[in-house]
């Protein structure tokens, strides 16, 4: 396909795009467990109005667009307050991956500046997000990937065996993505501190859930945010359960001194002084402004309401899954994520990938993951109205696929074309 010789009118283009979307997942109906998180009608209205307003703005230069500088600062301040970072400072990024890239790069720079480390190493659990491996690959760090415990939480003793004088970063997740359990952050932070390394808490999923769970009276097994000594950076995605449109995350450092290791400053080309806080150069103002507006539109009360409903829905789904003969949920998820697996002893009878295919025929979409083979569910408030229907379909599908093994074993969580 080439660019058309003669331009095409808006209505034609919109109908072409509508046709392209026919096979996309139906997130609007709450039938997708991840990827799009639906905060409801009024959140859409706010986001769409603000998106139109900031569609063309460029946050590359906040001297030209002081509004975006202010928006970024206020979003970081709101997030820092949520995560108990009294002195915390940071930046907005395009998403969890970019926030993690920034944290890894900052840890590397800090190790170089403060401990003269030239061969930096990262210690993380095998459940840590793939973005950490991407960051290490981009920035030339060696990764020590350590097996998790039987409950899928990071194994602190096993990780300690890999911490040494070259360790610049220890990673923990709150919660981790694959099974939704929270790593022992206080122990990991202590481990990082023992050699003067940075400690990153990946709260991409939990950053806009765990604080509201705490406010709403849910028990969490242990503290995980800046209240924990030794935690130096936290990533929190507003475009997940913050319910903002895609392209909005926050990376926070414990203080401004640590934040300096993230920024890139350059004054030796013919274009003048250039400073850039994150990976992007030209940077759309749209996701920044929509995130700012959505956070303020929902408010603390709204987030507690959305979070309570989300966690109750996850609990209902977890109980429903466990009640179906042949299925189980791995570990003990504390927040909004869980992994559905064949129950011990049922591996031959129940293939969760065949189950995922059967569910997809009924319009339900789970990401497939492993090892071990599981169906991933990130539950959000949009799933609440259809949770009972889902559980009924799930039970029927388990019967329907008994003994059937899916030919396709891929765990597709990718864009390769
Ligand atoms: C989603 C996620 C990321 C990566 O974030 P993107 O926004 O997809 O780039 C990192 N860590 C965890 C735990 C996540 O759930």
Ligand 1 pocket, residue 204 CB under 6 Å: yes
Cα–ligand 1 centroid distance for 386 (angstroms): 25
The owner of tokens 């295919």 is 357
Cα–ligand 1 centroid distance for 96 (angstroms): 4
Cα–ligand 1 centroid distance for 97 (angstroms): 6
For residue 297, report the phi and psi dihedrals to the nearest 5 degrees: -70, -45
Ligand 1 pocket, residue 175 CB under 6 Å: no
Around 243, how many Cα atoms within 13 Å sit in the side-chain half-sphere?
A: 29
Nearest atom (ligand 1) to Cα of 177? 13
Domain residue ranges in the chain? 28-33+310-400, 45-297
Are residues 174 and 181 in contact, defined by beta-carbon separation less than 8 angstroms? no
What is the CB neighbour count within 10 angstroms for residue 174?
Answer: 28
Nearest alpha carbon to residue 105 among 75, 128, 137, 130: 137
Which CATH class, in words, describes the domain spanning 45-297?
alpha beta
- Which residue among 204, 206, 279 has the greatest number of ligand 1 atoms within 8 angstroms of its CB, and so is best to mutate? 204
Cα–ligand 1 centroid distance for 395 (angstroms): 30
How far is residue 141 from each of residues 103, 144, 166, 168, measured CA to CA in Å? 13, 10, 10, 9
Q: Which stretch of DSSP H or E encloses residue 93?
A: strand 89-93
Whole-number pLDDT of residue 411: 81
Which CATH class, in words, describes the domain spanning 28-33+310-400?
alpha beta
User: What distance, in Å, lies between the first and last C-alpha atoms of the chain?
Assistant: 15
3-class SS of residue 143:
strand
- Cα torsion angle, 54, 60, 62, 65, sign: negative
Whole-number pLDDT of residue 417: 58
Are residues 174 and 202 in contact, defined by beta-carbon separation less than 8 angstroms? yes
Cα–ligand 1 centroid distance for 200 (angstroms): 14
Instruction: Fill in the DSSP letter of residue 182.
Output: P
Residues 6+ apart with CB under 8 A from 167: 121, 122, 123, 192, 195, 197
Cα–ligand 1 centroid distance for 8 (angstroms): 37
Residues 6+ apart with CB under 8 A from 57: 65, 67, 68, 284, 285, 286, 289
Cα 21 to its chain centre, rounded Å, is 24
Do 28-33+310-400 and 45-297 share a fold? no
Cα–ligand 1 centroid distance for 176 (angstroms): 9
- Tell how many helices (H) and how many strands (E) occur in the chain: 12, 13
Whole-number pLDDT of residue 228: 98
Ligand 1 pocket, residue 127 CB under 6 Å: no
3-class SS of residue 341:
strand
Nearest atom (ligand 1) to Cα of 97? 9
Nearest atom (ligand 1) to Cα of 175? 13
Ligand 1 pocket, residue 246 CB under 6 Å: no
The owner of tokens 């959505």 is 294
Sequential pLDDT tens for the chain (417 residues): 999 999 999 999 999 999 999 988 888 889 999 999 999 999 999 999 999 999 999 999 888 999 999 999 999 999 999 999 999 999 999 999 999 999 999 999 999 999 999 999 999 999 999 999 999 999 999 999 999 999 999 999 999 999 999 999 999 999 999 999 999 999 999 999 999 999 999 999 999 999 999 999 999 999 999 999 999 999 999 999 999 999 999 999 999 999 999 999 999 999 999 999 999 999 999 999 999 999 999 999 999 999 999 999 999 999 999 999 999 999 999 999 999 999 999 999 999 999 999 999 999 999 999 999 999 999 999 999 999 999 999 999 999 999 999 988 888 655 555
- Which residue among 102, 124, 237, 334 has the greatest number of ligand 1 atoms within 8 angstroms of its CB, and so is best to mutate? 237
- Cα torsion angle, 150, 155, 159, 160, sign: negative
Whole-number pLDDT of residue 180: 97
Q: What is the largest CA-CA distance in the chain?
A: 68
Q: Is the pTM of this model over 0.85?
A: yes
For residue 350, report the phi and psi dihedrals to the nearest 5 degrees: -120, 115
The owner of tokens 């889902």 is 390
3-class SS of residue 37:
coil
For residue 22, report the phi and psi dihedrals to the nearest 5 degrees: -55, -35
In whole angstroms, what is the distance from residue 309 CA to residue 315 CA?
10
């Amino acid at each position: 396909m080439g660019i058309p010789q003669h331009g095409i009118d808006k209505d034609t283009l919109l109908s072409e795009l509508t046709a392209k979307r026919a096979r996309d997942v139906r997130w609007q109906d709450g039938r997708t467990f991840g990827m799009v998180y639906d905060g409801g009608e009024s959140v859409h209205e706010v986001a769409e109005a603000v998106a139109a307003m900031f569609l063309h703005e460029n946050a590359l230069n906040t001297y030209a667009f002081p509004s975006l500088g202010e928006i970024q600062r206020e979003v970081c301040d709101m997030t820092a307050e949520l995560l108990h970072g009294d002195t915390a400072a940071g930046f907005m990024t395009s998403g969890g991956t970019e926030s993690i890239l920034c944290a890894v790069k900052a840890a590397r720079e800090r190790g170089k500046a403060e401990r003269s480390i030239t061969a930096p190493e990262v210690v993380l659990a095998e459940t840590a997000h793939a973005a950490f491996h991407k960051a290490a690959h981009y920035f030339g760090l060696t990764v020590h990937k350590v097996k998790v415990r039987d409950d899928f939480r990071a194994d602190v003793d096993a990780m300690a065996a890999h911490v040494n004088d070259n360790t610049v970063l220890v990673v923990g997740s709150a919660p981790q993505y694959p099974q939704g359990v929270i790593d022992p952050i206080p122990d990991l932070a202590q481990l990082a501190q023992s050699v003067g390394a940075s400690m990153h808490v990946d709260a991409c999923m939990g950053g806009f859930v765990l604080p509201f769970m705490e406010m709403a009276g849910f028990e969490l097994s242990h503290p995980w945010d800046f209240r924990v000594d030794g935690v130096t950076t936290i990533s929190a995605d507003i475009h997940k359960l913050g319910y903002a449109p895609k392209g909005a995350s926050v990376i926070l450092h414990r203080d401004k001194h640590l934040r300096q290791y993230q920024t890139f400053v350059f004054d030796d080309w013919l274009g003048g002084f250039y400073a850039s806080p994150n990976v992007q150069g030209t940077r759309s103002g749209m996701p920044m402004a929509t995130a700012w507006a959505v956070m303020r539109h929902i408010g603390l009360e709204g987030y507690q309401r959305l979070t309570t409903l989300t966690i109750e829905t996850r609990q209902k789904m977890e109980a429903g899954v466990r009640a179906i003969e042949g299925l189980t949920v791995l570990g003990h998820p504390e927040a909004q994520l869980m992994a559905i697996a064949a129950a011990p002893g049922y591996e031959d009878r129940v293939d969760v990938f065949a189950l995922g295919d059967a569910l997809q025929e009924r319009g339900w979409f789970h990401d497939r993951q492993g090892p071990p083979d599981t169906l991933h569910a990130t539950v959000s408030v949009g799933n609440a109205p259809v949770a009972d229907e889902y559980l009924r379909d799930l039970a029927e599908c388990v019967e329907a696929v008994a003994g059937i093994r899916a030919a396709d074993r891929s765990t597709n969580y990718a864009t390769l074309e």
